Amino acid sequence: MRVVIAEDLALLRDGLTRLLEAYGFDVVAAVADADALASSLRAHEPDVAVVDVRMPPTFTDEGLRAAITAREERPGLPVLVLSQYVEQLYARELLGSGDGAVGYLLKDRVADVVTFVEAVRSVAAGGTVLDPEVVSALIARAPGDGPVARLTPREREVLGLMAEGRSNAAIAAALFVTEKAISKHTSNIFMKLDLDPDDDGSNRRVMAVITYLQA
């Protein structure tokens, strides 16, 4: 699996490169700024990009903007964004296209190597992965009206775990219930969020997460 890494801190950039290579990824480019990221994405057409949100010269959202632009040029380009802080707006903007294959993790999560590597693989495979702290922030800020308000507390809990990129089996294990029970909850979520039953399951999961973010 071919990866492009964009991180301005040399030590972290090198660490990410070594970590992913140790798990069988082919890091085709590791760059330090948004311009180099854009060039590398066009030149290498990677399977996934791991991108820091804040990059030179202003250290605000250059990495995020470069990632969004790259996804406009190549719809569905898998991008996993790393951020130092929980920023709901970043998650919303990244997911705005509805194409899936995106992730937003806090940098601290990289220390959990297995979780980080699984997130990279999930995003590369077309999944949507959100950091648990981001999900918690979204739950705390959600208003009392709109489609998400139709969900029961348990359904909101399931949707929050879905937003973290967990499968039905993983959600069932986390909530100590059967996978059949989670399948019923997800069906109710899709129905209450008015998601097209003719869509495939993976697309409806992405759209459910987007609806959740836009609540």
pLDDT digits (tens, 9 = 90+) for 136-149: 766 666 555 667 78
For residues 194 and 7, what is the distance between their CA atoms, to the nearest angstrom? Answer: 39
Residue 165 confidence (pLDDT): 74
In a 10 Å sphere around its CB, with 0-12 CB exposed, 13-18 middle and 19+ buried, how is residue 99 labelled?
middle
| pLDDT mean over 99-128 | 87
For residue range 3-41, list pLDDT tens digits in order: 999 999 999 999 999 999 999 999 999 999 999 999 999
Q: How confident is the model at residue 202 (pLDDT cuts 50, 70, 90)?
A: low
Q: Assess whether the region 2-131 and the region 142-213 belong to the same CATH fold.
A: no
Higher-pLDDT residue of 100, 202: 100
| pLDDT mean over 169-182 | 92
CB–CB of 50/120 below 8 Å? yes
Residue 31 confidence (pLDDT): 96
Alpha carbon dihedral 33, 104, 118, 14, in 10-degree steps, equals: 20
* 58-64 long-range contacts, CB within 8 A, separation 24+: 59/8, 61/90, 62/33, 62/34, 63/6, 63/34, 63/37, 64/90, 64/93, 64/94
Least confident of 18-22, 95-99, 185-189, 204-208: 95-99
For residue range 41-97, list pLDDT tens digits in order: 999 999 999 999 888 888 888 888 888 888 888 888 999 999 887 776 666 777 665
Classify domain 142-213 by CATH number: 1.10.10.10
For the question of whether the overall pTM of this predicted structure is more than 0.85, the answer is no
Give the residue extent of every domain in the chain.
2-131, 142-213
Classify domain 2-131 by CATH number: 3.40.50.2300
Q: Is the pLDDT of residue 113 over 70?
A: yes
- Quick one: CA dihedral 90, 93, 95, 99, positive or negative? negative
Backbone angles phi, psi at 196, to 5 degrees: -60, 120
Which residues lie across from 49 on neighbouring strands? 4, 79
Amino acid identity, position 12: L
